[in-house]
Structure formats: structure tokens, C-alpha cells
Structure 1
Amino acid sequence: MRFRLIADGGALLDEGDGTAEMAGGALVVTPASGAVLRVAPADIVEIDEPQPYTVGLALSDGARLELSRLGVMRTQLLAELAEARVADTERVLLLDGVGTPEAFPGAADGSPAELRLYDDALVIVPTGGLADKIPYAFVRGVTTDASGYTLGLDIAGRPPVAIGRLARRTGEFSELLRTRVGAASGRTAHFLAALLPGLGPVALRSVAALLRDGLAAARTDLEAVEPTVFPALLDAACRPGTAAGARHLLTLGTTWLGFKQTASVQREGSGASPWRDSARPPVLDHDGRAGSFAAGLPGMFAAGMMSAGPTLGHGFDGPFAAYGPALAYGMLGTTGGLQSTQAAGPHLPRAVFPHERVTPASTDHDALTDAETPAVLAFLLCLTPGGHLVYEVLNAPGHDTYVFTCRDTDQAAQLNRALDLLGFRVEGISSDTSSAGSRYRKAAQRLPALRILRERFAGRVVHTDGWAERLATLTAGS
């Protein structure tokens, strides 16, 4: 193999013979003599072929690496590099979604890209340019052109996106996209129905339209549907010890309440065809135990299979038809006035028979009931008269109060959207990213959503004695 390393500006830094391989999750170029070059896949912003049999890599620092004379290793190296680049880009730029994605090779707005459909969002990683994330809550519609091979995504707050070059997988992608967009909306409706059992279907539809996954709804809008909706949801969302702080925020300005699914609790089956065994009883929990069920919420979940059938959806959809508020409160990590459920016992492995070709789908009950890492994040936003937006998590322990400068409701919506694009992972907002040792440095430089949040970050307040006084000081003026 021969390589050329060219600096930003065109100066030749190094060239010569050597070897190139994927090692330790990175592209490693080892010259015949001289220093080794290690390139993290996320640092590759574009892959092209400037000349026949030459691979060109544009790097995030402006440099360029060209590899030639790769021989039969060229195809394998490109495949490994492309796969690693997608995964590393999502991880470094905080773009990955909930659950395990379905990947499709295609194009977005005419640029070749890998299209990844998560439970909650479409992530687009192009071969050149910045990666993009489109939460399903922002998708207002999906259309198909006359050819049937190009899809148009109508997205709130931004220009539409054209998806194409899917060839024979166009129908598969289109169906899965529509299914997951619809499922995201359905999960919200099922989840809210469990928390608001006294609400009628028309009113519930209105509340679900306001409280799309990750998007906060104004207190006034929720109370306009039904005056008791907002206080009922707030009571359900608060962990013990957070209710007083939430009530204090209600006195500071305009408030919004939101919910965001943060974990997929459905574990997909694997194999060429669904697993069936006519010799086994039709009513079983997912661990393969018949006639008895674990204690508490997991046992209730399994026992309910007798009357409600298997759980087919992700996150917080189907189970609520059978389990109602208990499951919803369990996913929030709160009790909501219900008695705490007992933890599930150890999962017993089901015997594997030689004729079984697949692993059946299962539900991770612990993901539903683990109060330390709730599957649904509940949060409150408060816009103060002094020009600040307060972001408060209601059901996760040890979460500080974050404050951002914010002029009006339009900027509040922009900050809410930025938090959603980050998956509400706030660690990089207040971190020092000036050091080469910062894990958030690259995301802060290249991810617009994180950059907006960092630019408007005013401070954070730890939940200790004097929290309200320190918050008042921080939000006193613009």
C-alpha cells in the first residue's frame, strides 16, 4: 500500500509505502519508516475516489489522506471503514437513537448515505458532510414521487428531506419508516392513557398531539384540554423529593411538561423465521416458565399475557392496554400513589432444543422497573421573566437543574428541540471542551444542537440546601 498525507492548505506532510488496516476501532496506517497514523472513524468527514484505485479520506481537521495500491484488500478495507465510521460518528456526535436500528444504504438529498431507523428517530450518516438526526416527533408526513423510488419527508421547523437510491428496498424502508413514526405517536397515546385513565378518547387525542415524544407541551395548552390534566401528569412524573422543586418552578414563569422515551424495552428475536413449538403450552412468559410468574410488576406483565397477548411494540405502547397505570409509573421510575412492586427474581434460561432456529423475542422487565434509569424521562421547562429557560428533570436522581438564556417561546422551542436531538444527554453542555482530553470536544465543534445549548448555557444548580435561592440568583436578569 502507498499513502499520501496532505495538510489543510495543500502541503504534503508525508508519503511512502506501508500498511493500512482496521485495528482497535480505528484506521491505522503504518509506514515502512516513521510515525504511525491513527484515524478515528468519526474524524473522517468524507470518503471519495479521486483517481481509479485510490481511496481519499477528508479528515475533520482539514487534512486529507490518500491510499493507493491496496490490491484485493481495497474492498474489504472500505467496507470495514464505512461500517466503523457510521457507528463511531453516532457515538462521538451523540446522534444514536433508542433501540437497535435497521440500516439501509441509500441517499439523502442526493448524497449517498446510510439511513438508520431507530425506535425514535431517523439518523442519516452521509459519505460526505455532517450526519443528521430526525426525531419522529418532527415528521409531519411522508410522500412518494411519481417514480415510487424517492420519498419526501415533511419535517417541522426545517426544509423537507428527499430519501432515495434505495432500489428494491424502497418499499421496505417506506413501510418501516411509516410504521415507526406511527408507533412513536401510538406509544405516547398508550402511555398517557395509562396516566390519565379518567380522560375521554377525544381529550386524550388532543393531549397526545401536544405531548409528542421529547417535545414539551405548555401548561396552559394542557389545562385548556382539561384543567386537571397538567397537575395529574406532574404528580405522576415526580419522584419522591422532586415535587417541591417542581411546584416552585411553576411560580417562576411560563411552564411546559414533557416526556421522552430513553430506552427500548423490547428485545427482538433473531433468526430466519419466528420460533414456534406446538408442543409447548401457548401461555408462557418470555423466560419460558409456565404456570407461575415472577413477583411484582414483572410477574403481572407476564401473567397478563394470558388475556392481552404478547407485547409487540417498543417502549411504552401495547402493554398499557392490559397493565394500565402500574406499568406507566414503573417506566417513569415513580410510584404514582401505587404500592411499590417487588423486584423480579433472577431470569431462568430456557432450555434450547436442537430444532430451534431462532431466539424468541423477549421483554426486559428490569428495564421497565429500574427506578435508577427510568425508561421514560419526565422533564419540566420554565421560561422566567428575566430571560432564562430552566430545564428540570423530574424522575431521575442526581440530575442538576440547567439554566439557559432564552428570549421568548420560540427560543424555548429551539432549546427543547436541541435537547431532544441530543437524546437529553446533558453532560456535554457544561463540560470543558477546550482540552484534547475532553470526550465532548468533537461533538461541541461539529454538532449544531450541542453548540446552541453550550452558547446559551447560563449555569446549573445542584439540588442541595439553598437550591431555590441559588436558582433565583442565576435567573434574576438577562
Structure 2
Amino acid sequence: DIDDLFDDDYTLRLTDYTGRRYDLSMFGKAYGQIAADVAGRRRDRLQHDLLLTGIGKPEPFPGSVFGPTGPAKAELRLFDDLLVAMPERGLMWGLPYSFIDRVEGDAEQYRVRVVDDGGVVHEFGWLAKRSEQFRDMLQRRLDELAARTARTLGALLPGVDPSVLGRLAAVMRDGRAVQQRTVEAIDPALWTRLEAVVVGTEELRASYEVLGSMSPPGWAAFGVKAVDPRTDGPGPADPNAAAVAAANAGEALPADDPPGPPTARLWYFCPLARDGRPLNAVAQEITSEGGHATYVFRLMEPERFAGLAADAVEAEVAAAVARLNRTLLSLNFRREPIYTSDEQIQEGPFGRYRVALRKLDYLQWARKA
């Protein structure tokens, strides 16, 4: 519940989310250790409460985040799939590697710039001699993620030309949802192949075809994300566990041990229309789980949607679907934070989402959608 922590010349100033401030002092020689311990515990707890725990053990980098008012001292953590920035003051935040377009280094100023898929530039510095290590490790993990996506798609779409598969993996990297028109621009035959994978059963196809018939041509989108066995992948009793682990590690399987179905999370979006006119709504369903439910989300505020020019609707709907996809990925497809009532979050068993609901704008948006 501590919103701000400030080390003010041997006085530790704590401000909670209600605005109440607590000044802690007179610790003598123990002050430095106490301040560091409180700050560290707060960082670790907030990382958990803000759903910013990625895959693998994070590599920490003391540094800074550059914002509108200049650099702010921060700890940067690189997970296998997520970059987390922890400023000493202010809100910590994370950037899944799925949404990073490129990484740039500035050797003269010892800075690293990370450009996301929305064109926003995130700049980090004060890394001293570790600037290159930070940049290289981040780039290496991005490359590993892209390779894992390519392996997953290769297992799902056997026989596709490697060059075509590489282009598809680039646009679908680790869960980016891609529209039909984008997939067919790579290869007109790919969308039908993806449909057979994402909606492969009669039950799934029946609901998908109904929703697809209500969607403008080319606007539907598929998402594919490899499941890491270290987190939410198959357990030891799963007969495909060894195959999944080997595939994710890039290892070959024994010739007499054919792989089972690849372990991946699959889902689709169908932006909805009525009588050919786009609606302010999109249907979404995860198809790789045992139980299936279709969710309908509002894409944006009704006033904004009503005010869109006719030639802007298509691009704005695509951007809103991408935003929703990013939100669901950031939540790791947890449904409870979205549909659980405020009362249950404040007082009930879902209280673990209380801080996330208070702090995360994308979660607040998804709950209203």
C-alpha cells in the first residue's frame, strides 16, 4: 500500500495510497540498511502485486529510466520474456518482449533505447560499463523468443516454407495477434492452415464461423503463444512434457519418439459488424483450453467510436484489438482481474489484485470494456 518511498537525508518518508505520510527516522547507523531493506521488500512485493513476474530468474541492472523530467534512478530486471523497470519513486512497469520492435544502443552516452510496437521510445541509462551487457542480453532474449515462436509455428504448420514461416513468426512473435489480411499478404494459403489449428474442432469452428460471418472481411485475428513448461506448461505426468521441453530448447527428439501436439496457447478475435457496419465490439475466445467461453469486449468509449470518420474505423478497430491483446497477454490471460467485482477484490478472496486494479491503467480499461 506504499505509493511512494523517499530517502530524505536519514528520514525515510513513506506515503500510502490514501495520501497519508509516515516519516521514519532516528535509526542511527542502521538507517542505510533499514532503508535498503524496506525499498527492496517493497520492490519485490509490488512486482508480484502488479503481475510483473516473468519467466525465469531475472537479471538485475542498477540504472535509470529517462522520462519527461529527466533520468530517475531505477533497478531494471530482465526476465526471459519481460523487461521490468523499477524506479525508486513512481510506478514500476513492465514491457513484454512481444511488444518490443527494436533495441538501440548509444555508446557515447551509455544509453539503451527500446522502441515498442506503438513507436514509444523507452530510454535507459546510468548503466556504466554494463550498458552493452544490458543491450546484448535484451537483444539475445528477443532473438530467443522469436526462434521459439518460429519453432512453435513450425510444429503447428508442418510443411510451410521456412522463409514464409520466418515472416509469419516475425509478425506473430510470442502472442501478437495478427489479422487475416496481414497473414494472407505473406501467403494466401496460410490463413486456412491457421484456422485448422486455432479452431480445429467442430464445436470451435461452429461458434467461430458464426462470429466470423459477423466480422468484416479480413479483420479477424489469431494469436499463438508457446507455453513455457517452467510456468504454465504440461506437468511431469503429461506424456508430451519431454517433447515440449525439447522443442522449446531447440533440441532434436529421438527418431523413435515422435512428438505429440505442440503446447501452445491459441485464441482469436472477431471484430463485430451489423449489416456491414462495424460495431464497437470484438468477440474473443481462447481455443486451446479444455473449457471454452466467448467474451465480448467494447473496443473504445462509445463517444469516440461514434465520432470516427468512416475511413478511420478500420485502423482504429485494429489498434483497439491490438491493445486488448496486449492487455490479455500482460495479464497472462487471467480472467479474474477483469470480471471480479470491486467488492470481491477489496474484501474477498481476490484481494491479491487490489493493487493491480488501483495502479494498472490497462486493467482498469479492460474492466470497463
- TM-score bracket, normalised by the shorter chain, equals 0.7 to 0.9
Residue 184 of structure 1 aligns with which residue? 145
Q: How far apart in 2 are the matches of 1:382 and 1:300?
A: 32
Q: How far apart in 2 are the matches of 1:381 and 1:295?
A: 29
Does 2:211 match 1:249?
yes
Counting only pairs closer than 5 Å after superposition, residues 331-410 of structure 1 correspond to structure 2 as 331=263, 376-385=264-273, 386-406=279-299, 407=305, 408-410=317-319
Does 2:286 match 1:329?
no
Alpha-carbon deviations, 1:122-156, whole Å to 9, x = none? Answer: 11121111121112122222222242521111222
Residue 56 of structure 1 aligns with which residue? 13
1:387 deviation in Å?
2.3
- Alpha carbons of structure 1 residues 219 and 125: separation in structure 2 relative to 1, 3 Å: same
Residue 200 of structure 1 aligns with which residue? 161
Q: How far apart in 2 are the matches of 1:393 and 1:222?
A: 19
Does 2:153 match 1:230?
no
1:381 deviation in Å?
0.7
Q: How far apart in 1 are the matches of 2:332 and 2:205?
A: 24
Residue 86 of structure 2 aligns with which residue? 125
Asked whether the equivalents of residues 49 and 356 of structure 2 are also in contact (C-alpha less than 8 Å), the reply is: yes
Q: How far apart in 2 are the matches of 1:298 and 1:317?
A: 12
3-state SS in 2 of match to 1:62: coil
Letter in 1 for 2:283: V
Letter in 1 for 2:7: E
Asked whether the equivalents of residues 236 and 329 of structure 1 are also in contact (C-alpha less than 8 Å), the reply is: no
Letter in 2 for 1:215: R
Q: How far apart in 2 are the matches of 1:298 and 1:449?
A: 34
Letter in 2 for 1:199: V
Give the fraction of aligned pairs with identical amino acids, expressed as a percent.
31
Asked whether the equivalents of residues 194 and 328 of structure 1 are also in contact (C-alpha less than 8 Å), the reply is: no
Alpha-carbon deviations, 1:13-65, whole Å to 9, x = none? Answer: xxxxxxxxxxxxxxxxxxxxxxxxxxxxxx22322222x21111222221211
Letter in 1 for 2:213: T
Q: How far apart in 2 are the matches of 1:221 and 1:256?
A: 9
Asked whether the equivalents of residues 111 and 125 of structure 2 are also in contact (C-alpha less than 8 Å), the reply is: yes
3-state SS in 2 of match to 1:202: helix
3-state SS in 1 of match to 2:28: coil
Deviates more, 1:422-431 or 1:245-254: 245-254
Asked whether the equivalents of residues 418 and 450 of structure 1 are also in contact (C-alpha less than 8 Å), the reply is: yes
Residue 367 of structure 2 aligns with which residue? 454
Given candidates 20, 23, 42, the residue that maps to 1:85 is 42
* Bigger radius of gyration: 1
Given candidates 62, 71, 95, the residue that maps to 2:28 is 71
Q: How far apart in 1 are the matches of 2:320 and 2:141?
A: 28
Deviates more, 1:235-244 or 1:55-64: 235-244
Alpha-carbon deviations, 1:58-103, whole Å to 9, x = none? Answer: 2222121111011243233223222222221122122222333222
Q: How far apart in 2 are the matches of 1:186 and 1:412?
A: 25
Counting only pairs closer than 5 Å after superposition, residues 90-105 of structure 1 correspond to structure 2 as 90-105=47-62
3-state SS in 2 of match to 1:85: helix
1:212 deviation in Å?
1.6
Alpha-carbon deviations, 1:412-469, whole Å to 9, x = none? Answer: 222222222222222111111245215223222210110111121xxxxxxxxxxxxx
Residue 248 of structure 2 aligns with which residue? 316
Residue 47 of structure 1 aligns with which residue? 5
3-state SS in 1 of match to 2:206: helix
Alpha-carbon deviations, 1:185-227, whole Å to 9, x = none? Answer: 1111121122222111221122112212121011232233333
Counting only pairs closer than 5 Å after superposition, residues 142-161 of structure 1 correspond to structure 2 as 142-147=103-108, 149-161=110-122
1:320 deviation in Å?
6.6
3-state SS in 1 of match to 2:197: helix
TM-score (norm: length of structure 1): 0.63
- Alpha carbons of structure 1 residues 245 and 171: separation in structure 2 relative to 1, 3 Å: same
Residue 271 of structure 1 aligns with which residue? none
Residue 76 of structure 2 aligns with which residue? 115
Residue 430 of structure 1 aligns with which residue? 339
User: Structure 1: 5+ residue runs without aligned partners?
Assistant: 1-42, 267-286, 288-293, 303-310, 332-375, 457-478
Alpha-carbon deviations, 1:167-198, whole Å to 9, x = none? Answer: 23323222211111111111111211222221
3-state SS in 1 of match to 2:14: strand
Letter in 1 for 2:364: R
- Alpha carbons of structure 1 residues 103 and 261: separation in structure 2 relative to 1, 3 Å: farther
User: Structure 2: 5+ residue runs without aligned partners?
Assistant: 274-278, 300-304, 306-316
Asked whether the equivalents of residues 422 and 449 of structure 1 are also in contact (C-alpha less than 8 Å), the reply is: no
- Alpha carbons of structure 1 residues 63 and 264: separation in structure 2 relative to 1, 3 Å: farther
3-state SS in 1 of match to 2:175: coil
Letter in 2 for 1:422: L
Letter in 2 for 1:213: D
1:393 deviation in Å?
0.3
Count of aligned positions: 331
- Give the structure with the larger helix fraction: 2
1:298 deviation in Å?
5.0
- Alpha carbons of structure 1 residues 261 and 108: separation in structure 2 relative to 1, 3 Å: farther
Residue 417 of structure 1 aligns with which residue? 326
